[in-house]
Structure 1
Amino acid sequence: MKAIVINQYGHANQLEERDVPKPQIKDNQVLVEMHATSINPIDWKVREGYLKEMLPLEFPIILGWDAAGIVQEVGSSVTKFKTGDRVFARPATSAQGTYAEYTAIDEDKVALLPDSITFNEAAAVPLAGLTAWQCLFDFGQVKAKDKVFIHAGSGGVGTYAIQFAKHFGAYVATTASEKNQELVESLGADRFINYKEEDFSEIIKDYDLVIDTIGGEVQEKSMHVLKEGGKLVSIVQPPNEDLAKELGITAGFLWLQENGKQLEEIAKLMENGHVKSIIGHNFPLTQEGVQQAHQLSETHHAKGKIIINTK
């Protein structure tokens, strides 16, 4: 099968098109014929070697950990899925990723995909959508009327986080550039902050939850906009626990947990029109296409999700 692989760490030019064996599934896995995947920052961070101590993967590595496609084969112990099912998933982080024509995925990480949702829309969801969901509800325990502050609202995680928080009745503030104001407000943001011209720490205060997608100085300043007992969750770096203690808040780092049941919940919200995927860019599953997609993701200025079409 065709796949885009890396044989060593480095820049985007390390991504190469190769013919590799089709995956052999285990008893608890399904083989998915891929229709679409998407690019996430973890993809190029692994490619550059930034995560090699945390994720010691063996070369050649097929990157990509978002999947949307059709079940081609099921393992002997699989009960929830059958051949021909439309599905989507955030597979386990392994060296056998989703920049390929087929991928093997554990049953518990897979969710059925309603017919009304396209493969592109579904491929945008798993990593970014689950991250947003787990930040808000597993870590943040967000409820109606809570005040939630989301950094980078026009990015992959941000677009889902705004929609989830609003659907469950929270008040949402978010940062974005002026060109993305209309987008984040259309998703439900109550307070738009132009990060290029405004200092969020001078504008908002007494929030219940901050979702930090930036890190560094922004993360530290974000702690000061929380009320006592508030929470900050970061997806980029562990927060300063001493400062959190001093301010009387809870701060933590979230590493995504693959979860098929949570994807089913998100699929219901999408099917009922409460949540949508924001897709900004499409590239083909070719060496050049995936290289360009990585380069775009690395700018941090992609609007919405970057999709790779495998069909």
Structure 2
Amino acid sequence: MKALRMVRYGDIESSLEFQFADVANPGAKEVVVRVRAASVNPVDNMVLRGDLKSVRKEVFPAGVGRDVSGEIVTVGGEVSDYCVGDQVFARVGEEHVGTIAEFITVDASHLAPKPVNLSHEEAAAIPLVALTSYQSLIEVARLKSGDRVLIHAGSGGIGSMAIQLAKSFGAYVVTTTSTANVRWVKELGADVVIDYKKEDYLKRTSDVDVVFDTLGGEYALDAFKVIKTGGRVVSISAALDPQSAEELGLGWFIRKILALKSRKLIKAAKAKSGLYRMVIMQANGKQLRELGNLYQDNIISPVIDKVYPFEQSKEAFSYLATGRAKGKVIISLGEPAIR
């Protein structure tokens, strides 16, 4: 099969190569999926640059891509929930990263049935952003009906999904975006849209129950200026908090370093009698199945900016790196050839 592989850390052009490899036989609890579509996420570019080496070092050549939609072609001996020919989608586990390829092996517990009303390209836009939003807002922040939530970068892949998810749970949504996207983000369901190029969101936002920080840096610390007492700040881009570091099983020395980096955030949370957590999304087929039902019932819709053919996968990475994507960047695969 043909696959896009990461061969070294560095820029997109020098780090990525198309290579041919055998299709692996699945383990007892795994399946092989013929990839029809995959997506590119900011984390993929972070891995290419080497930003995450302290958490996970790559062994080259390494697969790239974490979202997939396709059909099952081979089933492991202990898999009972799925059959050959089933249409599925998934955010694969880190041990199976490499969805930008003609075939991919997936842990069956990470799969969910593809919503029947969605194309493979639409389904591939969902898993990582949907699971990240769900685990951050619902699982960790305990968002509930009537809560006021601030979601940064509402036009991005995660932001556009998080707005819809929060609204489906009955929350009042405040979000930030650039001038060009204000109307579009409002149409996603946000109650208040702040144009960060014209306004200081800190002057228009106060007493929110939850801040979903997708940007990191000063945005994470500033979140404590706008949450109410007992509020929750959940980030996917700021410093890793001690609880999350322990749950990831990181060594004591790395946890100590991370604790120093997060100390200002932990102190700010304590001053507000609130919560700070940094969420690293985990593949979860059960949650993805629940989220898939929201898409199938048209409560939430996938948001796609551009679709690239498999042969232009590098261009997809480059476009995402511009930071201008409005929604998800998708890679569509034609009929694959086994080699």
TM-score of the alignment, normalized to the shorter chain, above 0.5: yes
Which residue of structure 1 lines up, in the alignment, with residue 248 of structure 2? none
Structure 2 residue aligned with 1:278, among 290, 293, 303? 303
Listed as ranges, the matches of 1:109-188 within 5 Å are: 109-188=110-189
8 A Cα contact 1:26 1:75, kept in partner: yes
Cα deviation, residue 176, structure 1: 0.5
Change (3 A) 1:95 1:69: closer
Provide TM-score, normalisation by structure 2: 0.89
8 A Cα contact 2:177 2:196, kept in partner: yes
Which residue of structure 2 lines up, in the alignment, with residue 296 of structure 1? 319
8 A Cα contact 2:96 2:105, kept in partner: no
8 A Cα contact 1:153 1:159, kept in partner: yes
Cα deviation, residue 249, structure 1: 1.6
Which residue of structure 1 lines up, in the alignment, with residue 257 of structure 2? none
- Which digits, 9 at most, give the CA deviation of each residue in 1:120-156, with x for residues without a partner? 1110111111001111100111111000110001111
Listed as ranges, the matches of 1:34-53 within 5 Å are: 34-53=35-54
Which residue of structure 1 lines up, in the alignment, with residue 197 of structure 2? 196
Segments of structure 1 that go 5 or more residues without pairing to the other structure are none
Listed as ranges, the matches of 1:1-311 within 5 Å are: 1-13=1-13, 14-94=15-95, 96-238=97-239, 240-286=265-311, 289-311=312-334
8 A Cα contact 2:115 2:123, kept in partner: no
Runs ≥4 in structure 1, deviation > 6 angstroms?
A: none
CA distance in 1 between counterparts of 2:233 and 2:193 reads 19
Cα deviation, residue 83, structure 1: 0.3
CA distance in 2 between counterparts of 1:257 and 1:310 reads 25
- Which digits, 9 at most, give the CA deviation of each residue in 1:220-274, with x for residues without a partner? 1121100000000000122511121122221110000111011111111111111
8 A Cα contact 1:35 1:310, kept in partner: yes
8 A Cα contact 1:59 1:95, kept in partner: no
The one-letter code matched in structure 2 to 1:293 is A
Cα deviation, residue 95, structure 1: 6.1
The one-letter code matched in structure 1 to 2:45 is W
- Which digits, 9 at most, give the CA deviation of each residue in 1:164-192, with x for residues without a partner? 11111110000011111122111110000
CA distance in 1 between counterparts of 2:322 and 2:70 reads 28
The structure in which a higher percent of residues are helix is 2
Identity of counterpart residues, as a percentage? 39
Change (3 A) 1:151 1:96: closer
CA distance in 2 between counterparts of 1:38 and 1:114 reads 17
Cα deviation, residue 114, structure 1: 2.6
Segments of structure 2 that go 5 or more residues without pairing to the other structure are 240-261, 335-339
8 A Cα contact 2:96 2:106, kept in partner: no
